[in-house]
Amino acid sequence: MPWSQRQPGLALLIVASLALGIGATTTVGSIAEAVLLRPLPFRSPERLVVAGEVLKANPEMWKVSSYPNYLDWRARSHVFSRLAISRLWTPVMRRPAEPTRLVGAEVSEDFFSLLDLQPALGRPLGPGDFRPGAEPVVVLSHRLWQQRFGGDPGLVGKTISLDGTPGTVAGILPAGNALAEPLVAGDVEILRPLVVGAKDLFAGRGVRALRVLGRLRTGVSRQQAQTEMQSLARTLAAEHPETNKDATVRVELLREVVIASSRPVLLALLGAAALLLLIACVNAANVRLVQLIARGRELAIRSAMGADRLRLFHQLLMESLPLVGAAALLGWVLTWWVWDTFTSRLPPAVVRLTGLTLDGRVLAATLLVSLVALILVDLLPFLELTRLPLLALLTESSAAAGESRSSRRMRNVLVAAELALSLALLIGAGLLTRSLVRLSSVDLGFRPQRVLSLHLELTSPPYAEPRRARAFLADLRRELEHRPGIRSAAVVVNLPLKEGGNMSTGLALQPGANLDWQIDLNGVSPGYFATLGIPLLAGRDFSPQEMADDQHAVVILDDVAARRLWPSGNPLGRRVILDWMNPVPREVVGVVGDVRESGPDAPPHPEAYLPYPQLFFGSASLLVHTAGDPLRVAREVRSQVHALDADVPVESIATLEQLAASRIADPMTDTRILTSFAVAGLLLATIGVYGVTSFTVSQQQRDIGVRIALGAQRRDVTREILARTAGWAGLGLLLGLGGGYLLSRLLASILFEVSPLDPWTFIAMSLLLLAAALGASCLPARKALQIDPVRALAEG
């Protein structure tokens, strides 16, 4: 009878532990392979690059460029075979149902040929579509075509209403195509030709809001392109010092930009999953080693009957194969169960660009990992088998005689290895947990509780006149504030915590003397600061008269900007010049508290608040502070919007608490995943300590009985057992600290205000593991106290 049938509980433990390791490693390994190694779905993707301007004041915001600079790059550079540019476009599509805002992009003529985009239906945008006065045409994504038009093949050639203007559908992109960051700004559903006129807001050389893609010439490296573009940037800085003196150029491979934010966490999780697999394999190997020692006489008899050691090892391998096979099956089920949880951690564009799906490649990875696990489980027992004195065992009366000193040492080394691997996982989980706690406790600078946000698009022809849009928003605020359950309402151009951040611009205290840093811009209505609970530190809010038009040269600064401009003076009544459209001196009428606009992990930036009409381009967010649950008034707010104008789309309805939670969703997912790995590893290591200690006590019953019979105190016997465990646990802790250090380096880039070598985490996790190890050995030690010396001597 196979041992797995004689000891089903032990077999189940091995299967469960291996399934955890196989499932975790398969899942993370498959995702890492797709994201980090699989080529992007474009022709010669290794030659695609993203090029952007780097400003001295904000080097992290580099993936944008101005239109005139792009034209100079295209005309003067020699390292690109093609350059293309795009900018965000958010049209409102009007159909018989409720109007819908789409995320789109305006693209240059070379965009389709650069990416080798071929529509599944219809045609791409052609040269004639970019001529001034050409008939408006668009190309739809496959997803939009399916979801909004039911996959109607007759849609090509027909017109749809976008911002009140008809546009002819020229083509439909193929399924699976991913036009999103960093190819374009946003998750794009619709494309149209980019035509920049002389009076266009984006025609200015200092307006950097467009995305540039390039295809390197054959044989040109990224570094060569970087060198040439930096040289060209210096030339443009000399020619246009007013806009380019502090600007250079950065060129990065498209693939590196796509995976930049995903690489650190994937490598960290892959390392953690590999540690969990090793713990499971070491645990199973220890069990197999114990069984091998206990079956010494059986193996000796088989050897005496002609079986060589290789054949004996084959027997052991065949015994392990069904267990590993069952573990592989459970591991595949586990992968299927948690796949969405892991992939949700990645940006959606990364998932689509890399073709990341649960397919046959993942199943093949499961089989490969299972084969590795099978080898690891039986490798150490095989090495021990080569050292066992099989023929000598035939003359022994006890299976215990088969356990040599090297066998005991190997079992203890395996326990130490389990503890070391477990400690590394615990340290990683502890660091992420501390980071998440700090991130969750950050003061955002505003009160997100009981505040509803919704996005409004006023881009249709009736609102082409700014006065109409201002009147609509003013009427909406007034109607809402008179409703029961609503305390206040306000308008903001750039919603806090939204993706993408705020606009920024240069500033000066004297005309023509720009400072060497930039300031964020936001447009707000009166009552905005009170609605969000942002403290007014000095001065006043905007007045209704300042909302009436865009001529009032006033500004409210946050505390960061005020202290930076006037460290020891009163900013009220001072003048500051913002390099934005109408660069006139603006009077500072108020100072408010600092706000972490981009989320808890980004410090407050210097920020200037203007009356919202001065920054309003048809898109804004409405904020409603309620007395109770804000989601309960969402329907009422939507009804009020449509009562004023049924054609205004209401989108992105959410509470600010939901937005705040979304900004820590990824760190929370990382923490949960690694913590689950660590808990599983700790459990397996504890079981391993218990199993080895129990086996040691059972093998030494006669020795313990003799010592007790000769007068040894039982507490001394217990102390010796615990001391032996503590010794090997200490070795495991020392090795585990090294493993924890290596894992912490992988986690360093995703930690928030926590050092990768945080001593409290290393100490606390070490003490936790030591306590678990000693606790696991206490029960076998207590059994040693119950040994009857007379019976032990008689059985020996």
Express each pLDDT in 353-376 by its tens digit: 777 788 888 888 888 888 888 887
d(CA 203, CA 187): 24
N-term to C-term CA, the chain: 27
The tokens for 375 are: 């080898």
Report helix, strand and coil shares of the chain as percent, to nearest 5.
55, 15, 30
pTM: 0.79
d(CA 736, CA 766): 9
The tokens for 752 are: 């928030």
Short-list 576, 570, 632, CA closest to 609 = 576
What string of DSSP letters covers 717-732?
HHHHHHHHHHHHHHHH
CB 94 within 8 A of CB 461: no
Tally of CB atoms within 10 A around 353: 28
Residue type, 71: L
d(CA 283, CA 51): 51
Q: How far is CA 232 from the centre of its chain?
A: 35
Short-list 781, 789, 796, CA closest to 704 = 789
d(CA 218, CA 221): 9
CB 359 within 8 A of CB 19: no
Please tell me what DSSP assigns to residue 612: G
Query: What's the per-residue H, E or C state across 492-538?
Result: ECCCCCCCCCCEEEEEECCCCCEEEEEEEEEEECCCHHHHHCCCEEE
The tokens for 298 are: 């059986």
d(CA 373, CA 284): 10
Alpha-carbon radius of gyration of the chain: 34
- For residue 744, the number of C-alpha atoms closer than 13 Å in the C-beta half-sphere is 24
Average pLDDT, the chain: 82
Low-confidence ranges of the chain (pLDDT < 70): 1-10, 57-58, 95-98, 291-310, 312-313, 380-408, 499-502, 550, 694-722, 779-796
d(CA 64, CA 83): 14
CB 112 within 8 A of CB 125: yes
**Measured CA distances, 265 to 212, 353, 362, 665, 772 (Å):** 27, 18, 20, 14, 28
- Strand bridging mode 104-107 / 92-94: unpaired
Express each pLDDT in 454-485 by its tens digit: 988 887 777 777 788 888 998 999 888 888 88
What string of DSSP letters covers 616-684?
-SSEEEEEEEESS-GGGGHHHHHHHHHHH-TTS-EEEEEEHHHHHHHTTHHHHHHHHHHHHHHHHHHHH
CB 465 within 8 A of CB 666: no
Extract long-range pairs of 438-443: CB within 8 Å, 24+ residues apart.
438/752, 438/753, 438/754, 439/600, 439/601, 439/664, 439/667, 439/752, 439/753, 440/600, 440/664, 442/596, 442/600, 442/601, 443/596
d(CA 490, CA 488): 7
Short-list 320, 295, 350, 277, CA closest to 34 = 350
Short-list 658, 660, 605, CA closest to 444 = 660
d(CA 527, CA 523): 12
CB 745 within 8 A of CB 756: yes
Handedness of CA 441, 446, 451, 455 (dihedral sign): negative
Report the C-alpha dihedral over residues 546, 548, 551, 553, rounded to 10 degrees: 10
pLDDT at 710: 53
Q: Angle 77-83-85 (CA atoms, 0-180°, nearest 5)?
A: 125
d(CA 194, CA 89): 10
The tokens for 86 are: 């795009």
- Strand bridging mode 159-162 / 92-94: antiparallel
